[in-house]
Amino acid sequence: MPVKVKISIITLFLFLTGSLPTSAALLVDDCGGNGLGGHWSSYSDAYSSIDPKPFTFSQGGHDSALCARLDVEIKAGEQYPYAGMNTMFTAQNLSSYEGVRFWAKGSGNWGCQLPIPATATAFNHFLSPLLVTDEWTLYELPFSGFVQTWGTHVAWDPTAVNGVQWSVAGYPGTKAWICVSSIEFYKKDEAKLGNASSNPIVPSPKVNQQGYLPEAKKTFSLTLLPDGPQPGGSYQVLDEKGAAVLDGKLSGDTTDDTPSSGEKVLLVDFSSLKTPGRYSLAVGHLKSQPFEIGENVYFPLFKDALRCFYLIRCGTAIDDPLTGIKHEACHMKDASPKDGNAPPDVTGGWHNAGDFGKWTLEDSISCAYMLWTYELRTQTLANLNNQIPESGNGVSDLLNEAKWGLTWLLKMQRADGSVWHKVDTEDHFCFGTVPEKDPFPRYVQGAGAIDAADFTGVMAQAYRVYWKADQAFAKKCYLAAKKSWAWLEKNPDSVQHDPDYADGDPSQEKMWALGEMVRLTQDPALLKRFEEETPKTPLGPCGWMTPQMFGYMALATGPKTPEDLKATLRKAFSDQADGISEVSQKSGYRVALANGEYYWESNENLLGKTALLLFAYSLTGEGSYKEAALDQMGYLLGDNSLGLSFVTGHGGHAIQHPYHWDQAALGKTMPGWIAGGPNNGTTGADPLLVSIIQKGTPPAKCFVDACGGNGSWASGEGETSENAALLFCAGYLSGN
């Protein structure tokens, strides 16, 4: 079903209508016979339907009797379906003009495109996204906001613009329409709308919208503005009835956070409030989102983050009464191998990221996070019931979910011990289609050192974790780990080539496998190798390219690891945690992201650092590491410059439209899924995000909460390894 996209953060960047003075802009067409006299037409692929065809004007213009209207239904057939309408005219030199404007209304995900001679052959015209509503709205789109979204990029040339067109983005089943009137090119001094600031400010106090642990440090952040509250002023903490339970002064650290957020930020401590309850903060007339104080504030987040994995299972029907998410069993014939071998059975696993592909590396890291959560919080989670099909079988649902992923991994192991890299349609995407109706052939492909190493590491861990819960399964994992390790020893530098997860360096993955194999076998030769390798592949936060942290942790917690090595490993974790904490302390929002780290999946980068802080805390007991980890969780859950929780369903102002295929197809959002995060890199980015970046928006604010054909995949798409890191952090902080 089509998704009705509601934009939250992007509205801060849109143009605001005001009084409309007259101007002498270059009229393209008023749909009443005036303008450049361009030829109008409508177009579509060979499958999608459009009306009218051939093009004619329709009744009901904004300021005239007629308008250009197009109704579209996207139908299956083309890999990248398309439809739209345009007016083409004699090439115009628009060097002295600022942009194009028009009145429009409609529904669906549309973009305005400008063709120039350099894009005439490939049709990769310059595009600016439109967020249309069913009310007539004036749009003023500066040329600087137009970008090419595919094909070989060329330089923008305003000297020969020869048309304006409106194209729809969607997926099979999408129905959309648009009306356009009074199209013209305007000069800078003729602008009718005021450009929104490139640095939107949320003046309200920002809090961790999930909540705070009673005995932990509690802070809120306030943007300092010339006409806003200042240090020395007052604030109140209010209970649910609006009664003040704490009065305080606005005092604390003031940080110039301009490079990241474009703000000066005051951090205010209210740790004296420890009574469990639900509260909000008031600074004058400004009020925060509500939050809770309690011992178990992170437990609901942990359960939801874990539940997301059940909801993205592949190869099984989903009918979830808690979320209403429901679809038939999908991909029941996964998949054909590309190398010509007999088709294996690789059904199962989890859909990764927003799509329906399945990756060994992502699955392995996700399972490892689940198993580490269980290892470090066994007492709390031994009897976890998360209301999934396996619930009540005598095993923690954390282990039940991990077993789903591990079972798929076992299918990906080949007879020689190597491990398939992925199951995917590889760049044939069916965005917005329910998974059981995925029309594209799927292939199992690739096998290299990275996949074998990740597989070995998580299978070795699974052997010890499942030994008490399921010995038969534990033995399978043991044998699988040994088999892949043997292959890896013979093929240490084998690489696979994946355009989506490109990583030519297997050293970090091999370090994970080596650490786990040392703990599994207690082989002195392997132990010596690990000690020799640590300077070459040092400890670092886990990411999909850098999972060596798990190998370090395996030996740091191993009961038979020599004490001198344990001390070395504890110091390695402490050194990393100290560095992360130092970066955090320099940030106005206490986030451990330097200015240059707001890139694709910045939130996963941060969660990897948060997990490392919690590992370091578990090894050393150093309270500052836990405090720094809580600061990162606070940022992710609303204490940031956008005042936005990046996790669905958690926080009064949380993302509602993560870029996720199930979200698009089913029209339902699963709670507990985290978005990729702010990203100020234009490479591969979506038009919505690029339009924000090109305005000079501060890195920490380059985020768009939008799903759909014109959604933001470059800031809104999460992935399984990221959500697994979230469930680990939330699960660890749930305590025991």
pLDDT of residue 195: 61
* % of the chain at pLDDT higher than 70: 96
Q: Is the confidence at residue 580, as pLDDT, over 70?
A: yes
Alpha-carbon distance of 555 to 548, in angstroms, equals 12
**Mean pLDDT in residue range 422-436:** 84
Specify the pLDDT at position 698.
Answer: 97
Torsion of CA 723, 306, 653, 658, to 10 degrees: 50
Q: pLDDT grade, residue 427 (50/70/90)?
A: confident
| Percentage of the chain modeled with pLDDT above 90 | 79
pLDDT band at 10 (very low <50, low <70, confident <90, very high): very low
pLDDT in tens, 56-103: 999 999 988 999 999 999 887 776 789 999 999 999 999 999 999 999
What is the band of 16 on the pLDDT scale with cuts at 50, 70, 90?
very low
> pLDDT tens digit string along 631-643?
999 999 999 999 9
pLDDT at 164: 98
Q: Rounded distance, CA 706 to CA 663, Å? A: 11
Average pLDDT over residues 350-355: 90
Tell whether the model's pLDDT for residue 226 goes beyond 90: yes
Q: What are phi and psi of 183, to 5 degrees?
A: -90, 135
Q: Is the pLDDT of residue 4 over 60?
A: no
Q: pTM score, two decimals?
A: 0.87
Domain residue extents for the chain: 17-190, 219-293, 299-733
Q: At 536, which amino acid appears?
A: K
User: By the 8 A CB rule, do 483 and 416 touch?
Assistant: no
CATH of domain 299-733: 1.50.10.10
Nearest in space to 55 (alpha carbons), one of 46, 67, 65, 37: 67
* CATH class entry, domain 219-293: mainly beta
Evaluate if residue 2 carries a pLDDT over 80. Answer: no
Ranking 479-483, 547-551, 577-581, 665-669 by mean pLDDT, the lowest is 665-669
Q: What is the DSSP string of 603-628?
A: HHHHHHHHHHHHHHHHHH--HHHHHH
452 Cβ contact partners less than 8 Å away, ≥ 6 residues apart? 417, 418, 419, 484, 485, 487, 488, 491, 494, 513
Report the CATH fold assignment for 17-190.
Answer: Jelly Rolls (2.60.120)
Q: pLDDT for 266-284, tens place per residue?
A: 999 999 999 999 999 999 9
Higher pLDDT, 721 or 500: 721
Question: How far is Cα 358 from Cα 331, in angstroms, rounded to an integer?
Answer: 11
Kind of pairing between the strands at 443-447 and 336-337: parallel
Does the structure show a pLDDT above 70 at 143?
yes
- Name the pLDDT band for 196 (thresholds 50, 70, 90): low
Length of the chain: 736
- Supply the mean pLDDT for the chain: 92
Residue 420 has pLDDT above 90, yes or no: yes
Among 179-188, 203-212, 433-442, 694-703, the minimum mean pLDDT is found in 433-442
What is the reported pLDDT for 173? 76
Average pLDDT over residues 691-707: 91
pLDDT per residue over 445-466, tens digit each? 999 999 999 999 999 999 999 9
Cα–Cα nearest to 114, from 89, 131, 139, 80: 89
Pair 41, 19: CB distance under 8 Å:
no
The confidence score (pLDDT) of residue 8 equals 37
Per the CB < 8 A criterion, the answer to whether 58 and 68 are in contact is yes
pLDDT value for 735: 73
pLDDT at 736: 55
Per-residue model confidence (pLDDT) at position 197 = 72
Mapped onto helix, strand or coil, the DSSP state of residue 347 is coil
